[in-house]
């Protein structure tokens, strides 16, 4: 449907197509962006599911209540649109806006070593998720970590003391026994 895709390692997942909407081939989108309709700012998406990759262009989109609905160029059939469910919505990293100092994209935090104030390695950030109050980091055990526990740490100013992307580390104020 469009140009050559960016290499997989250069893609960032911004959301997922979850189902169809209506009878004209529109799709419902679960967006990881904040605000959720920012995913519509990208005119071309790379859709990825398992080993399948598709290039699509966004014709239009809208926030309908709490549901994000997108119309993809050339997709006019509800049954064909249904086959798009489960595809991740990706864009090249180079298309993401620049952040100010102290701001990070989630993909930048994933894989960082998490070290407490005593210098103990708690594990590595596996992924993050959003709650009503704050984002949460899922820290999983890795080689040389203190123990084999999985920890859920709040991504807050009180918990996160420093982030050093070049060193691949995050320093936290967190009790290892908690």
| Radius of gyration (C-alpha) of the chain in whole angstroms | 19
| Domain formed by 106-172, architecture | Roll (2.30)
* CATH 2.40.30.60 given to domain 8-95: yes
pLDDT tens, N- to C-terminus, the chain (178 residues): 444 555 556 899 999 999 999 999 999 999 988 889 999 999 999 999 999 999 999 999 999 888 899 999 999 999 999 999 999 999 999 999 998 888 999 989 999 999 999 999 999 999 998 887 899 999 999 999 999 999 999 999 999 999 999 999 999 999 998 8
- pTM for this structure? 0.77
Each domain of the chain, given as residue ranges in start order, spans 8-95, 106-172
Task: Find out whether 125 and 107 touch, Cβ atoms under 8 Å.
Answer: no
């Amino acid at each position: 449907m469009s140009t050559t895709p960016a290499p997989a390692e250069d893609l960032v997942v911004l959301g997922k197509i979850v189902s169809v909407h209506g009878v004209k081939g529109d799709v419902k989108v679960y967006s990881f962006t904040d605000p959720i309709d920012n995913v519509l700012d990208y005119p071309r998406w790379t859709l990825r599911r398992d080993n399948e990759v598709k290039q699509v262009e966004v014709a239009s989109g809208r926030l309908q209540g709490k549901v994000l609905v997108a119309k993809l160029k050339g997709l006019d059939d509800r049954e064909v649109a249904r086959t798009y469910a489960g595809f991740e919505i990706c864009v090249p990293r180079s298309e993401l806006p620049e952040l100010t100092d102290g701001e990070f994209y989630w993909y930048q935090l994933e894989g960082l070593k998490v070290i407490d104030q005593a210098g103990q390695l708690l594990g590595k950030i596996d992924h993050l998720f959003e709650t009503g109050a704050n984002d949460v980091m899922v820290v999983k055990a890795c080689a040389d970590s203190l123990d084999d526990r999985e920890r859920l740490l709040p991504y807050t100013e009180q918990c996160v003391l420093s982030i050093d992307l070049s060193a691949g580390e995050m320093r936290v104020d967190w009790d290892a026994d908690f």
